[in-house]
Structure 1
Amino acid sequence: MKRVVVGLSGGVDSSVTAYLLKEQGYEVIGLFMKNWHDDSVTISNECPWLEDSNDAMIVAEKLGIPFQVVDLSEQYKERIVDYMFNEYEKGRTPNPDILCNREIKFDVFMDIALKLGVDYVATGHYCRKAEEKINGKMIYKLLAGKDNNKDQSYFLCQLSQEQLAKALFPIGELTKPEVREIAKKADLITAEKKDSQGLCFIGKVRLPEFLQQKLQPIVGEIVQIPSDFKQYTTSIPKFTTKEAELNYFSTKFSYQKEDGKVVGKHQGAHYFTKGQRKGLNVGGTKEALYVIETDVKENIIYTGEGKKHQGLYRNVLFVSNEEIHWIREDLELFMGYTLEVEARIRYRQKLEKATLYKVDSGLYVAFKNKQSAIQEGQFVAWYQNEELLGSGVIS
């Protein structure tokens, strides 16, 4: 009888994960991760983790499995929260959920679980795992979840072969309605519970308010760039190499204050991200204004009118060598090689055709169609036939 630790979060997905594994004959242990108790930074007045750990405990009792709470708040603060503040301060946009999976759930948490002498760690992610022997070596594959609306493989795009080897995703073959149905039949308290929105395992976080506690508000100007800005219409140069061409198209537009007109004020460029529309509070335009660039040094936000504004779009992005991660290490690209893939730059974005180009300094991802709001600090993940092969942080 194999033993497995389930990360019980107090939600329906992890509850059903534990239930299914027990039905399959595993010896199941439930662990709840407490990821926060730093009073110097209040996350929200509602404290969901108490309610969530209570729900997780009730589910464990119902299933007759041992349960305990592990406190990972110190590691979470160091590896996730401090990193987030750092990135926002630099004007980049991190993805805490991806980091939380790489650094906390499948690292710190997995270590604790394996010390309990278990064979696997299971989570309630909507994704699947497959394995295949290739050249005499067992290779683990991360596949998209069967439920297209809920596929969460993107959040696991930084996992390694070692982490995948020990991971189980029992609900990856199911849809969300099926999961709720199983929970109802099993009479689990979480069957009707709403999905948590917010940072991984912290709960209800409003990001600007959270950031304001560490990054002080500084009043700056909002500048509107016209749709006929000169850089949008300059003729494309002739390129002598493919790399020169990729470099040209991956370079973002650069703006000066005098390129547009000042249309409002903001409380700090580091609170805004490319593609953002809410929170600008500027009226008087036919279409809504979108953030097309932030300059945290000069504390200026550059905006464009309408979601078709050219300043929002690029079709090439770059990932530096130290930020490239292959789940399928056996498929890693070497210098000069290319690979046809499908890729996405954010969760829930539909996969788009793209080509990877490996160069000396890193990896270019060239999309067939232009992508809106490519943002430094976010992750690009690439797939082939439902399998997530690798990912990287956008430079």
Structure 2
Amino acid sequence: MLLTINARLQWVLNLLIVSLSLVAAVAMVLLVFWFERSLFYNHLHSDLLDQVRVHASQQQPLVQPMTDTTYYKLPVSQQTLLPEPFRGYPEGGHEVLLADGAYNLFVHYQPGWVHVLVQDQSEFERYELRVFGGATLAVLMLWSLGFWLSRRLSRQILQPVSRLAIEVERLRHQPGTRLQGDYPDDETGLLARTFEDYARQLYQLLQREQQFSANASHELRTPMMVIRGALDMLRETGSGTAAEVRQLNRMEAALNDMQQQVELFLQLSRAPEAAAAYDTPEPLAQLAARCMACWQPQADARGLSLTLITGTDDGPMVPATLTGAVINNLLRNALNHTAEGHIELCLGPDWLEVRDSGEGIASEVLARVRERGVSGGSGFGLGLAIVARICEQQGWRLSLTANQPAGTRVRIGF
């Protein structure tokens, strides 16, 4: 699961605080150990040497208690006066931890004699444990404070970004408006101004596209009305032969498709998400057969085999104008890029596929062929862009692959 910027910033701040506190705690522990080793042992060593010099003439076993230390001078072979936990240590300083307390002792050997200075460190050990406990409590409190502080700091640091994100979300539902927040003159302010400028340009471009679509739709209605009037006149004044009626029917069907597509593209430019609601549902097989009839004469004139392969049923119900625009653009592309061979329109239970044996699409162009103005051949690169836009708006799946041994496969999954 991806973490938000706020969460990642909190983690970084918490990790920094924990790391610094642990380093400080370790440094404190090391300082205590260094203080104990260097100061106490040096002090014990100096006191022991002083006792050795003072009692150098003493030839009898000696046990001399002092305030918090006890000095022992004993023959090496007779150490019964030395408490058992302190026997057998080599020369140097040592720490002895017993059930009744903690002791530091320093041992010095002379020929036939052993000198031992024992210092009771129980009080210091209690202070040491208190220091370690206090340090642990301070670290835990520092972690708690750091957690609270990291949350507060991350919110303050990211507050302008969060406010900008909310305003950007508002712009999605209220295009053309301006950002209302007052942003500082830093990276966040630069981002806000840049995004506002980009959103304004995009809105102006969308307005121009909608105006052009509306104007084009309005202007095309007049010549289409003229064509329809001419068709009606030809039906009345024509000879009425079967071939003539067939051609007039094809022209009228093409005109009807043109009118539907003009209305469709106008609707796509205004409210693409609602385009299917204004469309007429029709069985896929029936729609595909009508599209094939429109392109069959062109395929016959070029000597191409145009085949419709259907299943046992009529397929799913699809929006007629939208799906017809997709099929017509795919067949037009296949005809334009196939010099010889065959073109097949295959229908499945929830998909359609156009296969051709044409020139195919180069691998370096295949990844970008859906973009507007990018063509796999000599065309204008609009057909697949229109198909991709309709599929994106309707949630259909569009895939392009190479056909074997030559050509292209374009599949639409509903």
From the two aligned structures, give the one with the greater helix fraction.
Answer: 2
Q: Same fold (TM over 0.5)?
A: no
- Bigger radius of gyration, 1 or 2? 2
Instruction: Calculate the TM-score normalised by the size of structure 2.
Output: 0.20
Highest RCO, 1 vs 2 (Cα 8 Å, sep ≥ 6) = 1
